[in-house]
Structures are given as structure tokens and as C-alpha cells.
Structure 1
Amino acid sequence: MRRRLAPAALLLPLALLLTACGGNSAASAGGDTDGSGSLTLNVGDQKGGSEAILRAAGELKNLDYKIKWSTFTSGPPLLEAVNAGAVDIGGVGNTPPVFAAGAGSKISVVAAWHGTSKGDTILVPNDSKLTKPADLKGKSVAVAQGSSAHYQLVASLRKAGLSPSDIKVKYLQPADALAAFTSGKVDAWAVWDPYTSQVLKAEQGRVLTTGDGVTNGLTFQVAAPKALADKKKTAAVKDYLERLRRAYTWVYDHEQEWAEVWAKDTGLPEDVALAAVKRTYTTRIEVAVDKPLIASEQEIADTFTQLKLIPRKVDFADFTDPRFNGDLPPSTTTPRPSEGS
């Protein structure tokens, strides 16, 4: 690969990370309670993520604690905030925990969802002559480094008999990648929903390939070990995860209602939000953090270690905490079918 960054550079410095936060609140480390003594759970989120689902499902009512939301552009900077203690728990894709583990971050995967990977795509312009992943050889591809799309790109290249050194990787966060893609500065863009749906609905590009059958389709809630060492915070995390579980169950039967809330929150057109809901989000089923899941993530870690993008061998099991599994189905459970758009 033409451009390799040191492990510390894989995650944004905390100062930059905090200035990038949005949502209802800042991502300050704050402390465990507010001035009134009420417990505050600091939650990291991404565009159209947990907060949107919980609000749409009515699961943000009657809380015994306060939630302080911070919104991040992708998983890697969110996990840097978890490592720094600015965030107690947050949602990310399947690859950011691997990079965070490789950097020695203090994180614990506490919950997992399994869905299809049809929303994880490599997009090309409508007039592109590229028709299959093998055609990417020598081409420039935008991707957020350390994101789930990063592994999807690597795995898609490997399936086509290529490696990252065969292409020109451009590490860009989604907003910059979208600008580069639509202006013709890159030949392709590896990304996830809702960005996939945004491009397709706007007819700004087409799908070259998806991650379906290539990646494991896992998404995670990742917590700070320090928060899990606190009994009150652990109880809040448990309640938060139970609310997320109910919210996802609600979404399965209320796609339109959630899409409307999501569109309002993110500024996405409603048809884009609904397309992403159908293609990606309603396929997800919560599964246990178990041995097959750990083995699947270990494969991702080993892949990036071999590419020398992670500097050392990672034992992914050391970065998981199965205490919240309960009676959840195994991680090998088949996800719900995607309706697409």
C-alpha cells in the first residue's frame, strides 16, 4: 500500500475528535454524575444510529439516568473517545474494534448485531467502465481508514485476486469521500449505508460490488472497561442495551415511521432513509458475543496484521465482554432478508 500510517495515526487525536462531535451534546468526559447527582451515560453515535432508533421507538422515555450523546463521522474516532474515557459506550461496525485493539486501546465489545452486508458497497460513477472488483487494479478508491468499509474493500479485492497494493487507496472520511467521488477525483468509493442509499437515490453512482457474502455483517456496541468497572454505569449499560434490543424489534414492523424520524434527524431525504432502512437496518438481529464471533473478528485482525496496517498480533477475545449475552442466539444466526430499494 502506497500510504501506511503508524498505529497512533489510525485514530484521530482526542482534541480533534471532540471538536468533530455534534448531536445533542458535546463529548466531554464530564464525570459520572451531573450537578443533581443523576448518573450520566456518555454514548457515542454515528449518523442515523442508535439515538435515531431509540427515539423513533419511544425508548428514550423514563430513564433512571441521563444520556449524553456525541455523534462521530465513523467508528475509529468514536472508539478513540471510548479509549480516552470521553464515551462510555458507542456503536461501530466490524472493523474499528480491530484497529482500536491493534493500537492497544481500552475497549470491550459488549453487544453485537448480525445483518446482511448489502448496504456495504464499492460504488463507481454511473459512466464508469469498471464492471467488477478486478477492474479496480490501478484505480483510486476512497475509504475511511479503519472503518468497516476498509475491510470490505480489502476482502473484495482479495476475492478478486488483488491486494490493497494493487490500487491507489485514498483515506477519506465520508463527507470528503462523497465530494471526491461526485467530482470525479476518485474512481470508486467503499462505504456503508446510509451513504450507499444516498448516492443511489440521487443517481450519482452505481454498485460495483457489495459486502454480502464477503464480510461478516456484524455491528457492535463497544464500552469502556472503566465504565464496566462501575456498578452503576454497568447497570445503565445493561438497561441501554435492553432498550436498543427493543428498539430494533420495533423497527422491524415500523420501517416507515423510523425512516421519517431518521430523515428528520440526519437531513437525508425520506426516500433515502427508507431505502437504507430496508436494505440494511431491518436485517439486523442481535446475537451473542461468542466464540464464532470472536473467530470471525480474529480473521479481520489477522488480515490487517498481515498487511502491516496493525503493528502486532491481536487476540480479539481480550477485547470482548460477554456478560450481557443472556439468552441471545449465536452469532451464526441468519440475518433477516433485505428488501433493498
Structure 2
Amino acid sequence: MNVFSLLALVAVTLLTAQSAAAQSKPGSAQVVRIGYQKYGTLVVLKASGALEKRLAGSGVEVRWIEFPAGPQLLEGLNVGSIDFGTTGEAPPIFAQAAGADLLYVGYEPPAPGGEAIVVPKGSALKSLSELKGKKIALNKGSNVHYLLVKLLEKSGLAYKDVELVFLPPADARAAFERGSVDAWVIWDPFLAAAEKQLGARVLADGKGVVSNHQFYLAARNFAQKNPEVIRQIIDELARSDDWSQKNLKATATLLSTQVGLEPAIVELAAQRFAYGVKPLSEAVIKEQQAIADSFTELKLLPKRIVVRDAVYQPKQ
């Protein structure tokens, strides 16, 4: 055997050994698949590329997968298409009730102004009580689903007093524009776009009614096997949050390229976001449980759930 053949054999042997060593680490992630929406601060992290740089040091690749809304994103998590993602308050409740094995790994502070029920600019509707018998578009099982429940309750209307039209954001906007529905319950930046582009009028937002937390969730199996990856994601989200809060105009410019909306629209949405990711507190767990119990009472869930069962507890 000549020297070149010997070197080649050594190289192949080393590569094989390295590959076997990597595969021998039980549960070690080579790729983390992150689900995102055109919503929230996770999109800022995606645009910055900071997470890719951070995880590259651990040999972990980041793949981003877009979803139209939270319920669809968590369905992706449930079937194994993604490992991590972000949604509002209601989607993880519906997903947990449907058997999804997920974990809450963090949340953002309240952002009640980031979701609202809007009517067309020429609408005669002036109050929530006038919604009785009207058609209202919303994404089923999303954060605005709970907002609508609470707004109806506040106005003295029953859930059955309105006609719900369940549509994802793009289809709901089309229905809203052509007058097929009387109102639309929606979140930012779609809310900001409706206000700026369509002249939509806010009938009521979440202030004083709901918290509208943004939650970060992971597949239980992934989180338990890859606690360091979860820690690094949350750490980079915290850094991204801090930068975004101090640089709203730059954040809007960055988000604009990601969500395909004008910077002025995205800046309005960014002003209503909340920044400062944290582990779930007792107060937030109780709040989520109250939301789940409300949906159970309305018979919108197949069974009662215990939110605490899905809260991530990293090993110390």
C-alpha cells in the first residue's frame, strides 16, 4: 500500500469513527426545526441569523418552517414536522387536549393591544352588543378565539349569539374585504395591516380583557433530550428581545423583509409586541388553566386538561 492509499484509509477511518461517536450520543440533535408565523419576536431572531451562529458551535443546524397560524404550527409539532415554535394562548390548550405531547418552554409578557376585533371602515356597528347575529371571522383555536369569548362575555352576549366563520388569516382578510363577514378577530401584524391598508376600525382590543401572551413550545421528546439546545434558543430569544425593544424602527425594517409588509405597518405591530422572554411563572400557568377551563365549559375541548402537565422543567 502506498502512502496516499494509507492516508486515504486513515481519513476514512477517522470520519467513520467521528460519525459513529456523534450517533452514539443518545438523543443528540443534529438539526432543530423551528416553526414560525408572520408574528412575534421569533421572526426577528430568524432574520438576524444569530441562532444559526450560536448553534453551529454545537454542530446543530437550524431549519425554519412557516405556518399561517398557531393551531397549524402545533399540528406540525404534533406530527413531528417541527421541534420548536411559537403561538398565542389558545393553540397549545387545544393541542394538549388533542393529545399533542408538547411543553411550554417560555413566554413573553402581556401584549393585549396586539389583537382586536375589527369592522370595515363603513360599518354601522359601534358596540360589541351589536354583534348579536352577525358573522365574525377568526382562526379557530387561535389566541383571538379566547379574545372573542371574553369580549362576548363582557358585552353580555353568549357564544352562540354570533355566527362564527373559521378561516386562516389570508382567507379571513379576503372575506372581510368583500363584505362576506361583519367583523374579524385578528392579531398583529395582520391587525396593523387591516388598519393601515383597509381602514378597518377597532371595535375592541384585548386591553383589560386578556393578556395575549406569546408562548414558546417544544416537542416533549426533543426538549427532554436536548436541554442545551432549548437553553441556547431561549438565550438568543432574550438577546433578540432586548435589541428589538431598544430598536423598534430597525426591528420594523427587519421584520418587513420577513413578513412582506411595509415598514410603517410592521412598526405599528412592533410597538404592540411585548419583549422579555421568561420561564412560565405560577401566575401565567394559572392564567392558562383558566383559559383552558373556559373552553372546556363551552364544550370546545374534548376533555379537561391540566396545563401544568405540559410545563417544561429543565434539569438543574
TM-score by length of 1: 0.80
What residue is the counterpart of 2:145 in the other structure?
150
What residue is the counterpart of 2:34 in the other structure?
43
What residue is the counterpart of 2:177 in the other structure?
182
Count of residue correspondences: 287
What residue is the counterpart of 2:157 in the other structure?
162
CA distance in 2, matches of 1:94, 1:84: 20
Q: Is residue 78 of structure 2 the alignment partner of residue 78 of structure 1?
A: no
> Alpha-carbon deviation of 1:229?
2.6
SS of alignment partner, residue 108 of structure 2:
strand
Please say if residues 96 and 148 of structure 1, whose CA atoms lie closer than 8 Å, have aligned partners that are also in contact. yes
> Alpha-carbon deviation of 1:284?
2.9
What residue is the counterpart of 1:111 in the other structure?
106
Which ranges in structure 1 are unaligned for 5 or more consecutive residues?
A: 1-31, 327-341
Match of 1:63 among 55, 73, 76: 55
The amino acid of 2:50's aligned partner reads E
> Alpha-carbon deviation of 1:73?
0.5
SS of alignment partner, residue 314 of structure 2:
helix
Q: Identity rate of aligned residues, in percent?
A: 33
Q: Is residue 262 of structure 2 the alignment partner of residue 264 of structure 1?
A: no
Please say if residues 182 and 204 of structure 1, whose CA atoms lie closer than 8 Å, have aligned partners that are also in contact. no
Please say if residues 197 and 273 of structure 1, whose CA atoms lie closer than 8 Å, have aligned partners that are also in contact. yes
Please say if residues 35 and 84 of structure 2, whose CA atoms lie closer than 8 Å, have aligned partners that are also in contact. yes
What residue is the counterpart of 1:137 in the other structure?
132
After superposition, give the CA deviation of every residue in 1:279-333 in whole Å (9 maximum; x if it has no partner). x22x333233122111101111111111111011111111111439x9xxxxxxx
What residue is the counterpart of 2:267 in the other structure?
274
Match of 1:306 among 297, 301, 315: 297
Query: What is the CA RMSD across the aligned residues, in angstroms?
Result: 1.9
TM-score by length of 2: 0.86
> Alpha-carbon deviation of 1:139?
0.4
The amino acid of 2:147's aligned partner reads Q
In proportion to residue count, which structure has more helix?
2
Please say if residues 114 and 212 of structure 2, whose CA atoms lie closer than 8 Å, have aligned partners that are also in contact. no
Q: Is residue 246 of structure 2 the alignment partner of residue 253 of structure 1?
A: yes
Flag the 1:152–1:160 CA change in 2: closer, same or farther, 3 A: same
Please say if residues 112 and 210 of structure 2, whose CA atoms lie closer than 8 Å, have aligned partners that are also in contact. yes
Which ranges in structure 2 are unaligned for 5 or more consecutive residues?
A: 1-21
Q: Is residue 259 of structure 2 the alignment partner of residue 292 of structure 1?
A: no
SS of alignment partner, residue 63 of structure 1:
helix
> Alpha-carbon deviation of 1:116?
2.3
Q: Is residue 91 of structure 2 the alignment partner of residue 99 of structure 1?
A: no
Q: Which of these two proteins has the greater Rg computed from alpha carbons?
A: 2
After superposition, give the CA deviation of every residue in 1:212-255 in whole Å (9 maximum; x if it has no partner). 1111221100110110231xx32111101100011000001111
CA distance in 2, matches of 1:202, 1:115: 26
The structure 1 segments of at least 4 consecutive aligned residues displaced by more than 6 Å after TM superposition are: none
CA distance in 2, matches of 1:48, 1:216: 16
SS of alignment partner, residue 179 of structure 1:
helix
Please say if residues 90 and 291 of structure 2, whose CA atoms lie closer than 8 Å, have aligned partners that are also in contact. yes
